[in-house]
Amino acid sequence: MLRLPPFRYLAPRTLSEATRLLAEEGPAAMPVAGGTDLLPNMKRRQFTPAALVGLRRLHELKGISGSPEVGVRIGAGETLTSVSTHPLIRTHYPALALAAAAVSTPQLRNAGTIGGNILLDTRCNYYNQTEFWRHSIGYCMKRDGSICLVAPGSPRCWAISSADTVPVLVVLQARVRLVSVRGEREIPIQELFRDDGMRPYTRETDEILSEIWLPPAPGWRSTYLKLRRRGSFDFPILGVAAALRREQDGRIGDVRIALGAVASHPVEAEEAMAHLRGQQPTPALLQEVAALAAKRARPLDNADLTITYRKQLTPVYVRRALDLLLGAEQGSGAK
Amino acid sequence: MRELITLRVNGERYEVAVLPHRTLLEVLREDLGLIGTKHGCELGECGACTVLLDGVPVLSCLTLPLEVQGAEITTIEGLEERGRLHPLQEAFAELGAAQCGYCTPGMLLSAAALLRQNPRPTREEIKQALAGNLCRCTGYTKIYEAIEAAARRLSAVHEDERQPDAALQP
């Protein structure tokens, strides 16, 4: 049986009490919200925190409010179920509703939070295994070992950013607020990520992700497509988030494309976006854009299905996402 | 250090002394003797340990008892009413929706939560509601059929309740 390792549980009542506890306990403490990523990782001994600081009761992390004209604030402690079913999100930021609804299973989404999904630990076939399994293979550098088992000659860890909501929040140009006893900072969500499978976040250990802010979205359409083996449970092995705005004459006013699960961080397809911006979309042009975006994906053999398949599907999914946004239906068609 | 907590399970209050790292699944099965909740993958990948928390399906293997004090927890033992099986349980038994039976408690609780919210779900809505419960025996078809049968029976019962006078007529 996979039991949790022992820890002390701390139950702050306010956000400021939570930040104080995290600061006092130091890096050996970890915050827990829904627990749907943290607790399995603890059972596998990927994390062995001395203390958990429970965020569940903090009302400061709750609530979804705003409007498409002024922007929307989402408390980081809102569950993925409430994000995916909220009328404001479904209507005006459909890609985020689709991505939140594509995470794992109903049970996980009822407990797991948007903040927890953003800060999901990076994943790898050689890392997301039990302690017994990892011991047998000699451990990897992300936990208890010194080399990368997927690329043994590599000086770095290639664990994959696997959060469905992350590429979407990148294309929506979301901002996130981090709170600690040292103060608060609000940053563009891209600045939360690092190209490092071992330390994928710029969040300091005493900081709590408290809220996500979505800018106004007049005229924008957005969608999210997810590749995985099964229609449920599975993490993405490719996520394509796209958002665009058209001019009166049909040209592409602006476009943003980001890929998930192709690197240790969400990847923006800058070249592809520049190629499409200001243009009249034609099938040939969209094919070029999809190919350019797919150049940014360099999958390694550390996730489900084969590298070749994941690579081949990347331009197909980018093209499908763009077609969806240029067609009549807004934001539909997620798998 | 153990902490004395109160859990509300199937309408009853239980006082338990728990270690913080014990999961709700462990406490239900090992401390309260409620072994109907099944112990599957322990990692959130199968749904066998599904319970309802204030009517909402969650995984007891990924729930800390310390965090659910004050919530109403429903396990499979709490689905029957006054000694009568829930219509879902009856339909599962009649239509062969349980084979080895290991996934069945979780399936029933996910289905019960669905029918409470949506008394006449479509086949697609049933599939979505059960997307977090793995079954390796049935191929799901019998399960979907049993839920549809239970939904029909439940809504027939509700219609009777709305017209008590009519029901009394010979």
Query: pLDDT tens digits, residue range A156-180?
Result: 999 999 999 999 999 999 999 999 9
Angle between helices B104-117 and B87-94 (to 10 degrees): 130
Give Cα separations from B143 to A108, A148, A183, B99 (angstroms): 21, 44, 53, 10
Q: How far is B19 from chain A (nearest CA, A)?
A: 8
On chain A, the residues whose CB falls within 8 A of the CB of B132 are 104-108, 232-233
How far, in Å, CA of B50 to CA of B38, rounded?
8
Residue B114 near residue B129, CB atoms below 8 Å:
yes
Is A6–B19 a contact, with Cβ atoms under 8 angstroms apart? yes
How far, in Å, CA of B47 to CA of B66, rounded?
21
Examine residue A111 and state whether it is found in any structural domain, yes or no: yes
Whether residue A64 is found in the same domain as residue A164: yes
On chain B, the residues whose CB falls within 8 A of the CB of A5 are 21
Return the pLDDT at B166. 46
What is the reported pTM?
Answer: 0.95
Decide if pLDDT at B23 tops 50.
Answer: yes
Examine residue A38 and state whether it is found in any structural domain, yes or no: no
Is A108–B132 a contact, with Cβ atoms under 8 angstroms apart? yes
Examine residue A102 and state whether it is found in any structural domain, yes or no: yes
Smallest CA–CA distance from A33 into chain B, residue: B67
Q: Tokens 């067609």 sit at which residue?
A: A327
Q: What tokens does B53 get?
A: 């928390």
CATH number for the domain including A295?
3.30.390.50
Return the pLDDT at B163. 53
A–B CB contacts, 8 A cutoff, strictly below: 86
Q: Number of folded domains in chain A?
A: 2
Decide if pLDDT at A328 tops 70.
Answer: no
State which residues form the domain around A89: 59-119+160-214
Nearest to A6 among B21, B44, B128 (CB): B21
Query: pLDDT tens digits, residue range A37-75?
Result: 999 999 999 999 999 999 999 999 999 999 999 999 999
Return the pLDDT at A79. 98
Whether residue A204 is found in the same domain as residue A262: no
B62 touches chain A (CB under 8 A): yes
B17 touches chain A (CB under 8 A): no
Decide if pLDDT at A233 tops 50.
Answer: yes
H helix runs in B17-140, sequence order: 24-26, 87-94, 104-117, 123-129
Q: What tokens does A64 get?
A: 């979804």
Decide if pLDDT at B30 tops 70.
Answer: yes
Residue A33 near residue A113, CB atoms below 8 Å:
yes
Examine residue A248 and state whether it is found in any structural domain, yes or no: yes
Residue A244 near residue A220, CB atoms below 8 Å:
yes
How far, in Å, CA of A42 to CA of A25, rounded?
18
Whether residue A65 is found in the same domain as residue A210: yes
Examine residue A305 and state whether it is found in any structural domain, yes or no: yes
Return the pLDDT at B160. 63
Query: pLDDT tens digits, residue range A135-154?
Result: 999 999 999 999 999 999 99
Q: Are strands B72-74 and B3-9 parallel, antiparallel or unpaired?
A: parallel
Interface of A with B (CB under 8 A): 1-9, 11, 32, 35-36, 39-40, 43-44, 52, 54, 56, 104-108, 110-111, 231-233
Whether residue A104 is found in the same domain as residue A238: no
**A195, A214, A233: which is the final residue of a domain?**
A214
On chain A, the residues whose CB falls within 8 A of the CB of B110 are 106-107
Whether residue A63 is found in the same domain as residue A199: yes
Residue B88 near residue B112, CB atoms below 8 Å:
yes
Identity (one letter) of the amino acid at A294? A
Domains of chain B: 3-78 (3.10.20.30), 87-163 (1.10.150.120)
| pLDDT over 70 percentage in chain B | 93
Examine residue A141 and state whether it is found in any structural domain, yes or no: no
Whether residue A277 is found in the same domain as residue A193: no
Whether residue A193 is found in the same domain as residue A243: no
How far, in Å, CA of A227 to CA of A225, rounded?
7
Q: What is the mean pLDDT of chain A?
A: 96
How far, in Å, CA of A191 to CA of A258, rounded?
14
Mean pLDDT on A221-250:
97
Whether residue A172 is found in the same domain as residue A278: no
Nearest to B44 among A1, A8, A40 (CB): A40
DSSP state of A48: -
Is B66–A4 a contact, with Cβ atoms under 8 angstroms apart? no
Whether residue A170 is found in the same domain as residue A244: no
Q: Which of A312, A90, A43, A263 is nearest to B23 (CA)?
A: A43
Q: What tokens does A170 get?
A: 């990148």
Return the pLDDT at A313. 97
DSSP state of A236: P
**A214, A245, A277: which is the final residue of a domain?**
A214
Query: pLDDT tens digits, residue range A272-303?
Result: 999 999 999 999 999 999 999 999 998 899 99
Query: pLDDT tens digits, residue range A73-104?
Result: 999 999 999 999 999 999 999 999 999 999 99
CATH number for the domain including A171?
3.30.465.10
Whether residue A292 is found in the same domain as residue A196: no
Is B21–A44 a contact, with Cβ atoms under 8 angstroms apart? no
On chain B, the residues whose CB falls within 8 A of the CB of A32 are 64
Question: Which letter, b or e, does each residue of B54-65 get, where b requires 16 or more Cβ atoms within 10 Å of its Cβ?
Answer: eebbbbbbbbbb
Examine residue A151 and state whether it is found in any structural domain, yes or no: no
Examine residue A128 and state whether it is found in any structural domain, yes or no: no
Beta bridge partners of A32: A54
Is B62–A110 a contact, with Cβ atoms under 8 angstroms apart? no
**A214, A239, A260: which is the final residue of a domain?**
A214
Q: Which of A254, A258, A218, A210 is nearest to A18 (CA)?
A: A210
Whether residue A279 is found in the same domain as residue A209: no
Q: What tokens does A162 get?
A: 């696997």
Q: How many helices (H) and strands (E) does chain B have?
A: 6, 5
Is B47–A107 a contact, with Cβ atoms under 8 angstroms apart? yes
Decide if pLDDT at B167 tops 50.
Answer: no
How confident is residue B165, by pLDDT bands cut at 50, 70 and 90?
very low
Whether residue A193 is found in the same domain as residue A228: no
Q: How far is B51 from chain A (nearest CA, A)?
A: 9
Q: Which of A65, A195, A54, A190 is nearest to A113 (CA)?
A: A54
